[in-house]
Amino acid sequence: DSGVTQTPKHLITATGQRVTLRCSPRSGDLSVYWYQQSLDQGLQFLIHYYNGEERAKGNILERFSAQQFPDLHSELNLSSLELGDSALYFCASRDGTSGRADTQYFGPGTRLTVL
């Protein structure tokens, strides 16, 4: 158990809908990263938050947005869903205070299926 939690574990929805994925980082971790992994594909970096502020964006679609709240949990919002958005969505957290490349610890993921 990495200490990172994600809900829900599975999500099935229809095209055009909007969903929210939730992530709670490890206790004390300030950084949260979101990744998308389509079937048999590599990890695609979406966005990084540090202590409530957006730090970096990857290949995140305009239909997707995220935020990190004062209690450090994060939410990833996906709207106007398309079939191609079906994927595993992972959240990862890291300490972020030591000034070096700390290990990222991954949550179990949310499997999104868009029908």
User: Residue 31, SS3?
Assistant: strand
Tokens at 15, concatenated: 């095209």
Calculate the alpha carbon distances from 45 to 15, 48, 61, 70 in Å: 23, 8, 11, 23
Distance separating alpha carbons of residues 57 and 100, to the nearest angstrom:
20
Q: Which is nearer to another protein, 26 or 79 (CB)?
A: 26
Site for another protein in 26-85 (CB under 8 A): 31, 33, 41-43, 45, 48, 55-56
Task: Using the Cα atoms of residue 102, residue 105, residue 96 and residue 29 in order, give the sign of their dihedral.
Answer: negative
Shortest Å, Cβ 92 to another protein: 8
The region of 9-17, 60-68, 71-79, 90-98 touching another protein under the rule CB under 8 A is 90-98
Shortest Å, Cβ 101 to another protein: 3
Give residues in contact with another protein (CB under 8 A): 2, 31, 33, 41-43, 45, 48, 55-56, 88, 90, 94, 96, 100-109, 111
